[in-house]
Structure 1
Amino acid sequence: MEIGIRKIVVLVLDSLGVGEQPDSYFFNDRGRNTVGHVADTAGGLKLPNLEKLGFGNLTYTKGVERNPDSTGFYGKMRSQANAKDSVSGHWELCGLITTREFNTFYESVPEEFLAELSERTEKEFLVITENKIEDEFDAYGVEHQVSGKPILICYRDSRVMVTGHTDVLSEIDMYILGENMREIADAHYIATVGSIFFDGQPGDFMFKEDTIREFIMPSPGPTLIDAMYSKSIPIIGIGKIADIYATSGLTDMHRPNGNAETIEKVRELILDSPQSENGQVLIFANLPDLDSLYGHKGDALGYAKCLEEIDELLPRIIRTLRNEDVLFICADHGLDPTGPDQGHTREHVPVLAYSRLFKPQGKGDLGVRKSYADLAETIAEAYDLNVHYAAESFWSAMVAQL
């Protein structure tokens, strides 16, 4: 059926898991439920706007009611990738399911990696792992100030960041370090490298979150982004999307600072953005704060407050949508901050869909989707791209409720 969908907005609520997957045992994540445990810790969540869309139907979430008469379509998606990192999650959302797990330098950094990086940059490096940042970073920061050696931070997931004090390294220094790390890291199958400054004095060093720049491994196969690019449909990447798909045909990229700025940028782009001849454009945004500011720090109360703030801002996007526009809300993995560590968790993620065109009328349940890639298949069908992924579209379930 020709409907004439114009703008599609995809919001990725980074790390918002909604309960363990059947294979969670193999990832040591049995019993994990990001939103459920966050709600329990906070004594309940107030998410009236997500509740209207059907979010409360996905998993028991204290304070959020089940809503069979939702204004949106709702379901849970299961990852088929052999990983639970953000890059694999975003690739799968766009139709590319990876079977190879990324490597990590969390246990140790290969000598050949350090040797080549030192040779390329003519610098020596200090190395610290994620779990030691809170207790030991101060000493590393002081040594960095004295020696000028950049600090490599190795995370549990496939991520290595270089950091330096604002008084020691310049923006050009950091960019060159990041680019060289990316070129070397491909051979080691590391998903993400990047750079971030810190400032302050010993005893009071602080990372400058607004200086993060990530260099992400190019996708090993075609995605929805490539398919849309081939059809001359503009794709606008916001936040982490701009880094994950930087080499895949994005028309425009924006890197706002945090959730509130990201939501405002999405609203602005709905009102005014480049479009195809048919008025089509994909606005693809990642909301990073749940993951980076709270999940990885084990701050369940902060996570709860952040999610409520997203919910409060959501109407700014919904009110801006026109009749022919569609909003999808999803996530890329879980990150249960109440767990024994602060790493990603193998969970289902939400998929919510809303458009003024569709009236679910009690038939909004999309069920449990077998893959994140169902989202890509659905968007491809909505835009009649004539491409297919290892997935099943739920577009017909939406069209049935016109």
Structure 2
Amino acid sequence: MIKRAVLIVLDSVGIGELPDAADYGDVGSNTIKNIYMNVENFCLPNLEKMGLLNIVGNEDINKNHKFTGTVAKCNEKSKGKDTTTGHWEISGLVLEHPFPTYPKGFPDDFINEFEEKVGRKTIGNYPASGTEIIKELGKEHVDTGNLIVYTSADSVFQIAAHEDVVPLDELYKICETARALLQGERGVGRVIARPFTGTEGNYTRTGNRKDFSLIPPHDTMLDYIKNSGREVYAIGKIEDIFVNKGITRSNHTKNNKEGIEATISALKEDFEGLIFTNLVDFDMIYGHRNDVEGYAEALKYFDDKLPEITANLKDDDVLIITADHGCDPTTESTDHSREYIPLLVFGKNIKENNNLGIVDSYASIGKTILDIFKIENHIEGTSFLGNILN
């Protein structure tokens, strides 16, 4: 009997363009494979041993015929390619309509109301790279106190502010105000606080980022597990993505290292339920900056830590490694990419050398976890539990 599921989301580590990638401008995107193809002597021996390159589409770079887990790649049914959409679908909530995006910036009536409510003017209000816009507008912000607001190809309203100009508590309250305003037809997936420090020419974003998501409109996998009396331990930005809904405790780690260590620490505890971890660095630090080498090093770091993670699994644990979308650093785009996500399942009770091919929805992950716990539910997705147990 499996008592605990460990779900690790490698944020943005996609594994090949989805059939509708052209609709999103993402033809040719394949985050994992393109890193293998562009980084000399790149390898991830522990993930490969678990079956990473046995996933459909990697036949030409695969060197292992036997692997220790069950693998697949998952199709995304929801419309979109952002963090909230991906995590919600993993947890059984498929969105029929995408969150709104603002390629020309947010409308004047919203900006005017926002400025009036927060008591500060804004600058920017266009799609931009977060690191580039603080280079462009950082000095003006510091000189005037005006908030830097911007968006991207994703459904986000981002607010950048220097921590010495706008204290974190104020910035978070400003984001809460924006979140309250951005509902209904303007209900973007996330409002994001983007604090930074430093001086002109050397502005640096800090680890105090905070996401303010919409509240999931229906119960997800998390709610069902919590309501069954089990633990739902959220690590990283999971608590932000789900607005604490369905979560029993959380550890808001700020980077991959902290997230991995918190996961290992949680594994050493004795409880039943779900450990749900998001490792954000792949996306936030490397994918959006097209830093191929940095992305590769982050993957190697996780791969190096994977044996410590698996060594701390109990016999009645199951480990699931996946992603929430792509963010291929080898393409011209600095935005997320519309991709399949990898699925690697490992544990004493899980079949080895088992390839499920293509799973029809991210939501099948959540459905399967609920089946593991024998929890009746009404989330979307088709369970693959019967195909992975020894």
Question: TM-score w.r.t. structure 2 length?
Answer: 0.95
Shift of 1:377: 1.1
Match of 2:334 among 342, 345, 349: 342
Shift of 1:135: 5.4
Superposed, 1:2-401 pairs within 5 Å as 4-59=1-56, 65-131=62-128, 137-187=134-184, 188-208=186-206, 210-272=207-269, 275=271, 280-360=272-352, 362=353, 364-399=354-389, 401=390
Shift of 1:290: 0.8
Distance 1:222 1:119 in 2: 35
Distance 1:334 1:116 in 2: 34
- The residue matched to 2:182 in structure 1 has which SS? helix
| Shift in alpha-carbon separation, 1:59–1:367, aligned structure 2, 3 A | closer
Shift of 1:155: 2.0
Distance 1:133 1:197 in 2: 10
Distance 1:88 1:155 in 2: 15
Matching residue's letter, 1:175: Y
Matching residue's letter, 2:300: E
Matching residue's letter, 1:161: Q
1:202-259 CA distances to partner (integer Å, 9 max, x unpaired)? 1221111x11011111112221111112212110111121111124121011111211
Moved more, 122-131 or 190-199: 122-131
C-alpha contact (below 8 Å) 1:77/1:350 kept by paired residues: yes
C-alpha contact (below 8 Å) 2:105/2:127 kept by paired residues: no
C-alpha contact (below 8 Å) 1:295/1:336 kept by paired residues: yes
Distance 2:58 2:284 in 1: 22
- The residue matched to 2:211 in structure 1 has which SS? strand
1:256-284 CA distances to partner (integer Å, 9 max, x unpaired)? 121111011001111126x3xxxx22000
1:344-363 CA distances to partner (integer Å, 9 max, x unpaired)? 11111111101122342x3x
Matching residue's letter, 2:338: R
C-alpha contact (below 8 Å) 1:19/1:59 kept by paired residues: no
Matching residue's letter, 1:75: A
Moved more, 9-18 or 171-180: 171-180
Distance 1:57 1:26 in 2: 28
Identity of aligned residues (%): 31
| Shift in alpha-carbon separation, 1:73–1:139, aligned structure 2, 3 A | closer
C-alpha contact (below 8 Å) 1:51/1:64 kept by paired residues: no
Distance 1:33 1:236 in 2: 31
Q: Which runs of 5+ in 2 are unaligned?
A: none
- The residue matched to 1:315 in structure 2 has which SS? helix
| Shift in alpha-carbon separation, 1:133–1:174, aligned structure 2, 3 A | closer
Shift of 1:143: 1.5
| Shift in alpha-carbon separation, 1:49–1:282, aligned structure 2, 3 A | same
Moved more, 245-254 or 260-269: 245-254
Shift of 1:68: 3.5
Q: Over aligned residue pairs, what C-alpha RMSD do you find?
A: 1.8
C-alpha contact (below 8 Å) 1:44/1:63 kept by paired residues: no
Matching residue's letter, 2:142: Q
Instruction: State the number of aligned residues.
Output: 389
Distance 1:93 1:302 in 2: 27
Q: Which runs of 5+ in 1 are unaligned?
A: none
Matching residue's letter, 2:370: A
C-alpha contact (below 8 Å) 2:56/2:72 kept by paired residues: no
- The residue matched to 2:388 in structure 1 has which SS? helix
- The residue matched to 2:6 in structure 1 has which SS? strand
- The residue matched to 2:153 in structure 1 has which SS? coil
Question: TM-score w.r.t. structure 1 length?
Answer: 0.92
Shift of 1:389: 3.4
C-alpha contact (below 8 Å) 2:155/2:189 kept by paired residues: yes
